[in-house]
């Protein structure tokens, strides 16, 4: 009786802890929706995860026995924590998309490993009663397929973002990927309809299914162009969440289930929003024929005109309204602090300064918001593109700092352009445009930006950090 009471108490504590952890996950996710509360939300979610891990180690029971190999578990957690801490401390903001992809891939790999380890341990008694057609087996197979695709796809996405893996464009790739996906579903149906084999007899099929899923994960990301990679990372992130939720079903772990559902649903919603922001099809993401590359057929008209630092400083200082469009070049140069110094100087002169933020500026959602928050730019100055576009015709000067595709008029004018239909910041509507770039290089989508040849555009060439510092000095001297 004492043992039963102790076991019951342990289960109750474990379930209560999982509920608390789930609440912390939800609160943390809610707080992540605003930069002012994002840090606190991240901490709350981390506390929830720590509670869930500790409770699982202390109170989880399987067949009346506590978890074994505690030393190995704690050692693995310690090693992972140290590695994750060091990577997160050293990574540059410009490499954040790669880091997100890498960490997401690790989550998918963990979910796939759970399935590979657990399938051989399915009870033969359970098979004799209901065959393979039961929730436990289905959770294992779905977790294996989705987790593996997420891991393999995330590793390819990491390589493409880091520049050491190129695109592979084959017209028939859509049909190849759909065929492989059908094979994976066939594996699940075949295994689920087996009623006589022991799980050990079907284990080789699991490893074949794993290999096929790896191939699919690689092939469906390979054709995708760099400009569209943020959407793919978001989709892969939702895959990892679903795979983790399958692990929660398998172990009857409410915290794991809740966390997986939150990640899966949030990733899916973000993917849909980003598809809308980039005028892409979610179906094309899944089958792997998603955007990227292509050349515009529109001829370049007009000429590039430069502006001096002194003229730029005068134009800005005597304006009433200035809008700054930050982009990847600003992040690379780590020029956000000097940029904020410039906007403060202009505000002291009575100039109203706002920042126009595109949903995928900096190559990941929220990237620019985080970057500018580092420099203490007030959140109220950061305006989403669809909100600020109507006000751009009344803007005296618009400064583009390191942005390219998100201000490219080809998205509206050129049906042959790979970014055609993508909502952009309508920079050309401003009265005057200053573009700060290192040179005339093309953007992430590798297409010409017609804004640079606009009659209202003046180019200010140079490294963003150095040029901004010189511009700040000129404004101060006026």
Sheet with 382-384, strands from edge to edge, namely 382-384, 352-357, 321-326, 397-401, 432-437, 457-461
Closest by CA to 149, choosing from 160, 137, 157, 138, is: 157
Catalytic residue of the set 405, 413, 414, 429: 405
Closest by CA to 227, choosing from 403, 476, 419, is: 419
The H-or-E segment that residue 133 falls in is none
Q: Would you list the DSSP string of 448-465?
A: --GGGGSTTEEEEES-HH
Would you call 405 a catalytic residue per the annotation?
Answer: yes
CA distance 9 to 59: 9
Do the Cβ atoms of 278 and 290 come closer than 8 Å? no
Q: Cβ contacts of residue 80 below 8 Å, gap of 6+?
A: none
CA distance 25 to 48: 6
Q: Would you list the DSSP string of 169-196?
A: --TTHHHHHHHHHHHHHHHHHHHHT--S
Residues marked active site are found at 405
């Amino acid at each position: 009786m004492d043992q039963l009471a102790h076991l019951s108490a342990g289960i109750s504590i474990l379930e209560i802890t999982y509920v608390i952890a789930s609440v912390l996950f939800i609160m943390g996710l809610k707080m992540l929706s605003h930069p002012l509360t994002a840090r606190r939300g991240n901490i709350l979610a981390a506390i929830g995860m720590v509670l869930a891990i500790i409770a699982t180690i202390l109170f989880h029971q399987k067949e009346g026995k506590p978890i074994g190999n505690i030393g190995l578990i704690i050692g693995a957690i310690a090693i992972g924590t140290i590695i994750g801490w060091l990577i997160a401390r050293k990574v540059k903001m410009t490499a954040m998309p790669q880091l997100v992809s890498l960490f997401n891939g690790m989550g998918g790999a963990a979910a796939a490993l759970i399935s590979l380890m657990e399938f051989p341990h399915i009870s033969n008694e359970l098979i004799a009663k209901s065959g393979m057609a039961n929730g436990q087996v289905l959770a294992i197979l779905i977790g294996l397929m989705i987790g593996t695709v997420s891991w393999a796809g995330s590793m390819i996405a990491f390589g493409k973002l880091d520049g050491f893996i190129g695109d592979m464009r084959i017209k028939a790739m859509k049909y190849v990927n759909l065929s492989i996906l059908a094979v994976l579903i066939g594996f699940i149906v075949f295994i689920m309809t087996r009623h006589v084999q022991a799980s050990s007899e079907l284990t080789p099929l699991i490893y074949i299914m794993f290999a096929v899923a790896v191939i699919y994960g690689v092939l469906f990301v390979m054709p995708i162009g760099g400009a569209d990679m943020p959407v793919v990372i978001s989709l892969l992130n939702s895959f990892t969440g679903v795979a983790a939720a399958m692990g929660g079903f398998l172990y009857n772990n409410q915290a794991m289930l809740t966390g997986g559902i939150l990640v899966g649903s949030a990733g899916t919603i973000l993917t849909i929003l980003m598809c809308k922001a980039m005028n892409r099809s979610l179906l094309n993401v899944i089958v792997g024929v998603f955007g990227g590359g292509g050349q515009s057929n529109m001829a370049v008209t007009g000429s590039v005109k430069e502006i001096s630092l002194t003229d730029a400083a005068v134009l800005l200082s005597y304006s009433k309204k200035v809008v700054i469009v930050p982009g990847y070049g600003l992040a690379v140069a780590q020029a956000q602090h000097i940029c904020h110094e410039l906007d403060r100087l202009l505000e002291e002169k009575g100039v109203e300064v706002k920042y126009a933020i595109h949903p995928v500026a900096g190559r990941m959602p929220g990237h620019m918001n985080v970057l500018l928050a580092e420099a203490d730019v007030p959140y109220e100055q950061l305006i989403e593109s669809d909100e600020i576009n109507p006000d751009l015709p009344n803007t005296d000067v618009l400064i583009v700092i390191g942005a390219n595709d998100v201000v490219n008029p080809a998205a509206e004018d050129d049906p042959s352009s790979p970014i055609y239909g993508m909502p952009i910041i309508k920079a050309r509507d401003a009265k005057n445009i200053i573009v700060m770039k290192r040179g005339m290089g093309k953007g992430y989508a590798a297409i010409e930006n017609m804004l640079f040849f606009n009659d209202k555009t003046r180019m200010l060439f140079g490294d963003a950090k150095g040029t901004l510092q010189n511009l700040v000095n000129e404004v101060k001297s006026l």
